[in-house]
Amino acid sequence: MKYFLFIVCCLLLFSCRKLITVDTPVSELPAGQVFNSEALADAAVADIYYVLSGYYTSSMLTVINGMTADELSTLNPSSTVYVNNAIQPADPLVLSTWRDFYKAIYRANAVLEGLATATNISAGKQAGLTGEARFLRAFSYYYLVNNWGDVPLITTTDVTQTATASRAAVADVYQQIMSDLQSAVLLLPETYSSTEKVRANKWAATAMLARVSLQRGNWQDAETNASLVINAGVYLPLSSLDSVFLKNSRSAILQIWLKDGFTIAGQTFQPSNAGTFSFFPLTTDLMNAFEAGDMRKDKWTGTFTYGGSLYYYPFKYKKKIAAYGDDAEYLMVLRIAEQFLIRAEARCRQNNIAGAVTDLNIIRHHSGLADLPADMDQETCLLTIEKERRTEMFTEWGDRWSDLKHTGRINTVMSVQKPGWDSTKVLYPIPQQERNRDPNLTQNKGYQ
């Protein structure tokens, strides 16, 4: 005890301030230090992928988009709100999804701010990481703008600016997305940073740019960018239907790395055991869209019986428990088949029907379907692409939901599918809690 007192007295010889000064805790790293090391800065960028691999952004979005569109139905009475497009502003899943995208955006902004003043990082590494952060920010905004319309455009970590942000117009958000993607295309290398395809490269940014260009009606840009990816030469020939969703499959442009080699989607969609059921079966309408002989119906859907009826469930991901080795699965973000569909539509819109049909036939051929003739009219061509996209891209990041929106056909299609449909359902409600905390956030039409 005496010894202890002695130490205390010695400490007193220093100033009082010292006595209440604490060091950075061992489990924390000052931001300055993180952006002073290539490895640490890389870990900060990897974290953005990790956020996006979360439950809400990677899978609930797929499930909810699938239900609010015409892909999924439900056997879970509490999910009927989504199937009936009766989402309340207080919906917890919508809130969490929204927040996780903004979490990713904050982290991307923090990385961009940190890298801007970084010192010990090589120019190449700095460019690559900056490109990835911009790509991921654009990726997040793409889903925000698609589901909620006008959304706050946050490009800084400064809380005094962000806490009371207002919603930016869809066009402004897209402008940010385009500029981020264009910059990412320039900054990112063509190669992947590892042997896996789990970090964005130039082609991932280009593929995303093709998709966004299509959404915005920039047909020529969409075609150009899709061609760049297709001609990159590393994603073809198309992986077989069985292997496309495996990790590092040839057709994958970008996947999300998963520690245990299985996806939440695989877990969610597959019936848990033989004889049990899945909460989110595919709609009859979608199943009817598959042409006879479409191998995707066999390979990518499964069946179960519940209450005497036959149901189909999405079966793109086969794994639902930990899998390591070659049959492990990663979550698909971007794959080459979509680029053919993007280019097909872009060509069709530019009245290059023959070119569009060529691209379509590549996908059809791969699925065991007969080639289509090149002499259809533009309208038929667009509808054919829409159907092909539906059967190819179902339950992947709500592709159907955004596709119907950009073609403007959503009201036509939905009002047939869903009695009482009204056009305000195209957008989700701005989460109530977000509006409570930011008085400048307005609500979308049709919601309280």
Partner 1 sequence: MVKHVCNAYGYLFILSLLLFTITVNAQTGKENVRITINSNHIPLSGIFKIIEKQTGYYFVFDNDILDVSRKVGIHIKKMPWKDALSYVLKNKNISWHQQDRRIFLQKKIIPETEPPTDTISGTILTNTGSPLPGATIVIKGTSRGVTSNNEGQFSLQQPASAVLHISSLGFIPVDTTLSAHGIHTIQLQEAVNSLDAAVVIGYGASSRRLLTGSVGRISAQQISAQPIANSLNVLQGQVPGVLVTNTNGLPGAEVKLYIRGRNSIAAGNDPLFIIDGVPFDITPLNNIDELSGAIKQISPFNSISPSDIESIDILKDADATAIYGSRGANGVVLITTKKGTPGKNKLDINIYTGAGKTCDYLPMLSTKEYLAMRREAFANDGETVTVAQAPDLLVWDTTREVNWQKMLTGRTTHITNAQVSFSGGNSNTTFFTGADFYHEGTVIPAPLGYRRGGVHLSVQHHTKDQRFEAAFSGSFTGDKNESIASDVFTFYNLPPNYPLYEKDGSLFWGSSLDNPEAYLRQQSNSKTNNLLSNGVLRYRLLPGLNLKTSMGYADIRMQQVFTFPQSSQHPQNAPVSLTRVGENGRQSYIIEPQADYTLRIARGSLHILTGGTWQQTTSKSAYAEGQGYSDESGLGDLKAADTVIRRPDSRIMYRYISFFTRFTYDWQNKYIINASYRRDGSSRFGPGKQFGNFGALGAAWIFTAENFMKSVSWLSFGKLRMSMGITGNDQIPDYQYMSNYGVNGIYQNINTLRPLRIANNKYSWEENRKLEAAIELGFLKDRIFFSAARYSNSSTNQLVGYQLPGITGFTSYQANLPAIVKNTGWEFELTTSNISHHHFNWSSGWNLTFFRNRLKAFDRLASSSYASSYVIGQSLNIVRGYHFTGVDAQTGIAQFEDINRDGRITSGGDFRTISKRDPDFYGGVNNEFSWKGVSLSFFWQFVKQQGQTIISAPGAMVNETTRALSRWRKPGDVTMVPRATTTPGNPAYNVNANLPLSNAGYEDASYLRLRNLSVGYKLPDAWLKRMQLQLCRVYVQTQNLVTITGYKGPDPETQIALPPLTIITTGIQLTL
Q: Which of residues 105-124 bind partner 1 (CB under 8 A)?
A: 105-107, 109-110
Q: For partner 1, which residue of 61, 154, 222, 323 counts as binding (CB under 8 A)?
A: 154
CB of 196 to partner 1, least distance (A): 7
Residue range at the interface with partner 1 (CB under 8 A); choices 176-184, 331-339, 376-384, 438-446:
438-446
CB of 247 to partner 1, least distance (A): 12
The nearer residue to partner 1, 274 or 292, going by C-beta atoms, is 274
In whole angstroms, how large is the CA radius of gyration of the chain? 24
Place of tokens 């245990």: 260
Total binding residues for partner 1 by CB under 8 A? Answer: 105
- 280 dihedral zone (left: phi>0; alpha: psi -120 to 50; beta): beta
Cα separation of 402 and 202, whole Å? 24
**Which residues inside 62-101 make contact with partner 1, applying CB under 8 A?**
73-81, 84-86, 88-90, 95, 98-99
Strand boundaries in 294-445, DSSP class E: 301-306, 309-314, 331-335
Cα separation of 272 and 321, whole Å? 11
The nearer residue to partner 1, 8 or 171, going by C-beta atoms, is 8
CB of 298 to partner 1, least distance (A): 23
The nearer residue to partner 1, 1 or 292, going by C-beta atoms, is 1
**CA distance between the termini of the chain:** 66
**Which residues inside 164-203 make contact with partner 1, applying CB under 8 A?**
164-165, 194, 196, 198-199
Furthest CA-CA distance within the chain = 98
The residues, any chain, with a CB within 8 Å of residue 86's CB and separated by 6 or more, are: 80
- Is 416 a binding residue for partner 1 by CB under 8 A? The answer is no
The nearer residue to partner 1, 184 or 198, going by C-beta atoms, is 198
**Which residues inside 123-142 make contact with partner 1, applying CB under 8 A?**
none
Residue range at the interface with partner 1 (CB under 8 A); choices 117-125, 217-225, 263-271, 396-404:
263-271
The nearer residue to partner 1, 85 or 215, going by C-beta atoms, is 85
The nearer residue to partner 1, 218 or 433, going by C-beta atoms, is 433
The residues, any chain, with a CB within 8 Å of residue 197's CB and separated by 6 or more, are: 248, 252, 253, 254, 255
The residues, any chain, with a CB within 8 Å of residue 140's CB and separated by 6 or more, are: 52, 57, 101, 102, 104, 105, 108
DSSP line for 97-143: HHHHHHHHHHHHHHHHHHHHT--SS-HHHHHHHHHHHHHHHHHHHHH
Residue range at the interface with partner 1 (CB under 8 A); choices 239-247, 253-261, 361-369, 382-390:
253-261
Q: For partner 1, which residue of 36, 38, 40, 387 counts as binding (CB under 8 A)?
A: 40
**Which residues inside 317-356 make contact with partner 1, applying CB under 8 A?**
320-322
Site string for partner 1, 351-380 (x = CB under 8 A): ------------------------------
CB of 323 to partner 1, least distance (A): 12
How do 301-306 and 309-314 pair as beta strands?
antiparallel
- Is 441 a binding residue for partner 1 by CB under 8 A? The answer is yes
* 8 A C-beta contact, residue 229 and residue 206: yes
Cα separation of 426 and 413, whole Å? 12
- Is 19 a binding residue for partner 1 by CB under 8 A? The answer is yes
**Which residues inside 271-310 make contact with partner 1, applying CB under 8 A?**
272-273, 276-279, 306-309
The nearer residue to partner 1, 146 or 391, going by C-beta atoms, is 146
